[in-house]
């Protein structure tokens, strides 16, 4: 099983700041089969990024994904109030597993 | 836009079988470019992928569930279902059905989710 480790566990930032979230895989991901999801309380996760760097339909361009192999990053260039939420990475090249999440909270 | 809606009992007794159905609208469960999946999320924890089914009936399951899980589909009703046997309190979670965009054999990312349904395992 591929294990995903996200860091940090919690990120405390102010609106307008840049957020950088990390996801590390226990083994290299074939063809960068890595996705990022945003989840707010009481809601289902929402797809942000797939294929490590492709934005899903309707996702603002302040969200960007990068990385390959074992190290991946989600960047939010300027945090908007609605961006404060939990973020999960997921690999889908070997069945599917999720990271434990990063909580982006208002400082 | 595909929409998914879970239905089923919100309370299941220990050792019994959890059964949920997902109704798909706005798209066909026969689509060659989709997988149909179940994901669960215990309170305060990360999502956990349970498994998927393809229009051909081919399934893939998370090994963590061993032989307890079965996913099936009913194309005539545009529905797919989850059965999880021998449940315990550890199976208490919000259960989501979701559509995976198929990018290769047994490879897909989750782009549409149902709203989720809480299933509690308790006597």
Interface membership of B111 toward A (CB under 8 Å): yes
Q: What is the CA radius of gyration of chain A?
A: 13
Instruction: Read off the pLDDT of each residue in B97-122 and give the average, rounded to a whole number.
Output: 94
* Percent residues over pLDDT 70 in chain A: 100
Interface membership of A46 toward B (CB under 8 Å): yes
**Test the B interface: residue of A5, A92, A99 with most B CBs within 10 Å:** A92
User: pLDDT tens digit string along A12-60?
Assistant: 999 999 999 999 999 998 778 999 999 999 999 999 999 999 999 999 9
Q: How would you write A69-102 as a 3-class SS string?
A: CCEEEEEECCCCHHHCCEEEEEECCCCCEECCCE
Contact B21, B95 (CB under 8 A): no
Interface membership of B100 toward A (CB under 8 Å): yes
Nearest to A19 by CA among A68, A49, A64: A64
């Amino acid at each position: 099983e591929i294990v995903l480790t996200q860091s940090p566990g919690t990120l405390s930032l102010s609106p307008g700041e840049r957020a950088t979230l990390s996801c590390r895989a226990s083994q290299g991901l074939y063809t960068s089969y890595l996705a990022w999801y945003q989840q707010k309380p009481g809601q289902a996760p929402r797809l942000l990024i797939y294929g490590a760097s492709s934005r899903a339909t309707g996702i603002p361009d302040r969200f960007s994904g990068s990385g390959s192999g074992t190290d991946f990053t989600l960047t939010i260039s300027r945090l908007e109030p609605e961006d404060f939420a939990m973020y999960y990475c997921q690999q889908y090249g070997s069945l599917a597993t999720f990271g434990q999440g990063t909580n982006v909270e208002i400082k | 836009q595909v929409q998914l809606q879970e239905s089923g009992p919100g309370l299941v007794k220990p050792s019994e079988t959890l059964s949920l159905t997902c109704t798909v609208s706005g798209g066909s469960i026969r689509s060659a470019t989709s997988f149909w999946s179940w994901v669960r999320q215990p309170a305060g924890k990360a999502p956990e992928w349970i498994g998927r089914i393809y229009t051909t009936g081919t399934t893939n399951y998370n090994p963590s569930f061993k032989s307890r899980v079965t996913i099936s589909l009913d194309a005539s009703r545009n529905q797919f279902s989850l059965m999880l046997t021998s449940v315990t309190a550890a199976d208490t979670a919000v259960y989501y059905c979701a559509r995976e965009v198929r990018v290769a054999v047994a490879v897909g990312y989750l782009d549409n989710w149902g709203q989720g349904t809480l299933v509690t395992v308790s006597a």
